[in-house]
Structure 1
Amino acid sequence: MPESDRARRRAPAVVLGAVVVLLLAAGAAASSAAGPGAVAVAAAPQVRLVPADGATDVAPLAPISVEATGGALTDVALVAEDGTPVPGTLSPDGRTWTASTALAFGTTYRFAGSAIGEGGSVPVTGGFSVVDPSRLLRASTSIGDGAVVGIAAPIDIRFSGLVAEADRAAVERLLSVRTSVPVMGSWAWLPDTARTSRIHWRPAEYWPPGTKVHVEARLYGLDLGDTEFGAADLTSEFSIGRSQIVRADVKRHRMVVIRDGKEVSNVPASYGLESDPRRVTRGGIHVVMGKSRTELMTNRAYNYENVPMHWAVRISNNGEFIHANPASGYAQGRQNVTHGCVNLSTANARAYFNSVLYGDPVEVTGSHIQLSAADGDFYDWTIPWDEWRAMSALHGSENQLARMDGEASIQLPR
């Protein structure tokens, strides 16, 4: 038989053998997919981004994370458009990466990295943009770092705009006061001015001398609605100085200074004319707000303007000062003739001026008109303690009160 005929006779057997092999392979694959003891083919890892790729107007405090299913994350990064990396933490099992800092307003960020598993590797990719607010709420305080203040100094935080009633509890939860010794105190919202809101923290009683105080307002990124956000965090560290209390007796025409429990000065004074309600020195606990060697005083209703008065210590925002006034020397210790200020001799006013601290209390007694909100910012001590606590946006809820740093301050190391 010719060789070509023998080849043709063998060919079907070779083809048939190939088909059998393919069928066996297919059977093995099917068995692998569904049969007992089969080996499964691993799927590629899946990656979930929070926020999702392409998200816009993300809040700067929103949770930011990368989650891997079916694998572990490696070399994960979140980078701002200017190349600044965002710090983050990888979970012990390698499956979750979480950003550990707030994001910047109006900034675009992109993810990078990989998720690797038995089924291979997939890239971590995607990006989002952070909201660019139309308004930012800023906070400020009159007590700066390193200041030494008097025992009646309230912690005042003033906002650059109005804080809606509905947002006050959220704002207050972000405020804290820590002290080196236990101090009982509370926040209270004072009446708004035309354009700003303000909140004060004061102790139930005067500060213990020597107390160290740390104030923190973690306001950055706080979402206040209508694309308004908190602009920045605020901190202040200060200490309480010696105890100095002024006892100003309107009826006795005297001013007594008590320092660390001892009387160090008892001088004649003249107070506001009692027959004119506009000139009466207001009663109650005033707080020293500042001082100036020369203060230009104006009261057009009484026909004087830019009159220089020396050794002037401001005790309210209604124009009340303790200052030198030689012109009223005849009345000091005898009668009240001033326009509301406490007049002393030049020597006595200078001595008091040199001893005073911001936040010292001035306790005015014997007046028939009391200090009130109409007289400016620092009338805090005229408000009874229970009423003061009720002015907190968190008052009345046990859970909220328990979270208030202001209810009982956190203690710092001594």
Structure 2
Amino acid sequence: MTFRHLARRRAGVAVLGVVAALTLGACSSEPTVNASGTDGGGPTAEEPAAKPPTVSFTPAAGAKDVAPGDPAKVSVADGTLSSVTLTNPDGKQVKGQPSADKKTWSTSEDLGYGKTYTWSGQATGADGKQVPVGGSFSTVKPSRQVTGSLNVGDGQTYGIAMPIALSFPSAVKDKAAVERALSVKTEPKTEGSWAWLDGDTSVHWRPKEYFEPGTKVTVDAQLYGASMGGGSYGRQDVSASFTIGRSQIVKGNTKDHTMQVVRDGKEIMDFPVSYGLDSDPGRVTHSGVHVVMSKHSTYSMSNPRYHYTDVNVPWAVRISNNGEFIHGLAGSVWAQGKKNISHGCLNLSPANAKRYYDSVLPGDPVEITGSTQKLSSKDGDYNDWTYDWTAWSKLSALAG
């Protein structure tokens, strides 16, 4: 082969290479780009279709025996609520409001017992389509409505041992449901617990230790709509906010025949006392932590068992429901500080009784030691401090 022939052959191969390159370029999967820099016509991803709105209800549509204290709510997924109305059997609209994103609407007032409520309105989906808001539910019709009453009041000031007592006219069967409707908030935070007493007709809350002076307390019993068992439901909510005052503790010893008043850690009074006759179980002053329940400038006392009625005493401070008071009695001054002769009360001179009376707050603890009989859970409404903390905590219906 001559040089010329070889050159021509190589030139032919080069031309074929160019053609092949052009052919490969035409079949390439790379997209073509137009002058604007965008895809000139390749396939595009298909956008998902918008979902229609889905409406749900709490309580569920068609629900029966609904507790009226719980809020009713309508919610929407994949859309917003355009309008919502809930009406009672008389056509009256129930108050309510939508959420900021218009995805829920909730009632803002309690419903009534034994009524049927009807939803109406519309929801709009992301696809622009509208679906109706509709359906109904009915609330429970109680066999009985029960009222609870608190022992504490708004704006009041109480002593450091004050228990919170919520009482009912009869035994509560569903104690757990009632207890879940109760709350106690304190500032500063205070550990405490509820306990069921008095044959389940009363539930008390007390702190683990005495309250700190100045504690702010709010008790809230959301009883309306709460099941109490046996077809009974709460009639209305009750609440109270109060303050714990200074620390004042009475420390009394039946053997020493004395009583000291300690305020904020300092003794401010020291009186001679005549306690109950220790040799008679019916007259002995009980040892243990009593709580001041009330005070009276004069009080009429009767005890037919011991043959006296309508004996008026001055400056009487009740410390239990078993007949124990701290009060003045001029007739026993000779025994005060020397001998115990009373029928269970702490006898002071009228002047000393007045000094103590003027210092008292309901809820002040009175700690008595030295006698042969101990205060027990049978000794009236405020026996809360006769339990140690472990025993007290177990009396909660939610303990476990």
Mean Cα deviation higher: 60-69 or 220-229: 60-69
The aligned residue for residue 368 of structure 1 is: 372
Mean Cα deviation higher: 123-132 or 368-377: 123-132
Counterpart CA distance in 2 for 1:63 and 1:146 is 29
Give, in angstroms, the shift of residue 45 of structure 1. Answer: 7.3
Q: 1:50 to 1:243 in 2, by over 3 A?
A: closer
Give, in angstroms, the shift of residue 230 of structure 1. Answer: 2.1
Give the alignment's Cα RMSD to 1 decimal. 2.9
Counterpart CA distance in 2 for 1:109 and 1:86 is 12
Give, in angstroms, the shift of residue 104 of structure 1. Answer: 1.9
Counterpart CA distance in 2 for 1:181 and 1:43 is 51
Greater Cα radius of gyration, structure 1 or 2 = 2
One-letter amino acid of the structure 2 residue matched with residue 230 of structure 1:
G
- Deviations along 1:283-326, one digit per CA (max 9) or x if unpaired, are 11100000111111110111111211111000000111001111
Give 1:2-13 correspondences, 5 Å limit.
none
1:271 equivalent to 2:271? Answer no
The aligned residue for residue 286 of structure 1 is: 290
Kindly indicate whether the alpha-carbon contact (under 8 Å) linking 1:88 and 1:101 is maintained by their aligned counterparts in 2. Answer: no
Counterpart CA distance in 2 for 1:63 and 1:144 is 28
Q: 1:109 to 1:290 in 2, by over 3 A?
A: same
Counterpart CA distance in 2 for 1:43 and 1:255 is 79
The aligned residue for residue 326 of structure 1 is: 330
Give, in angstroms, the shift of residue 178 of structure 1. Answer: 1.4
Q: 1:45 to 1:338 in 2, by over 3 A?
A: closer
Kindly indicate whether the alpha-carbon contact (under 8 Å) linking 1:45 and 1:119 is maintained by their aligned counterparts in 2. Answer: no
**Equivalent residue for 2:189, pick from 173, 182, 187:** 182
Which structure 1 residue ranges, 5 or more long, are not aligned? 1-41, 397-414
Give, in angstroms, the shift of residue 394 of structure 1. Answer: 2.2
Greater relative CO, 1 or 2 (CA 8 Å, sep 6+): 1
- Equivalent pairs counted in the alignment come to 353
One-letter amino acid of the structure 1 residue matched with residue 178 of structure 2:
V
The aligned residue for residue 40 of structure 2 is: none
The aligned residue for residue 180 of structure 2 is: 173
Give percent identity, aligned residues only. Answer: 51
The aligned residue for residue 28 of structure 1 is: none
- Deviations along 1:131-156, one digit per CA (max 9) or x if unpaired, are 23121232221110111000111111
Counterpart CA distance in 1 for 2:54 and 2:191 is 52
Give, in angstroms, the shift of residue 114 of structure 1. Answer: 2.5
- SS across alignment from 2:112: coil
The aligned residue for residue 171 of structure 2 is: 162
Q: TM-score, normalised by structure 2?
A: 0.79
Give 1:288-367 correspondences, 5 Å limit.
288-367=292-371
Q: 1:310 to 1:275 in 2, by over 3 A?
A: same
Counterpart CA distance in 2 for 1:215 and 1:285 is 24
The aligned residue for residue 67 of structure 2 is: 59
The aligned residue for residue 389 of structure 2 is: 385
The aligned residue for residue 36 of structure 1 is: none
1:77 equivalent to 2:90? Answer no
Kindly indicate whether the alpha-carbon contact (under 8 Å) linking 1:176 and 1:217 is maintained by their aligned counterparts in 2. Answer: yes
1:199 equivalent to 2:203? Answer yes
Counterpart CA distance in 2 for 1:277 and 1:332 is 20
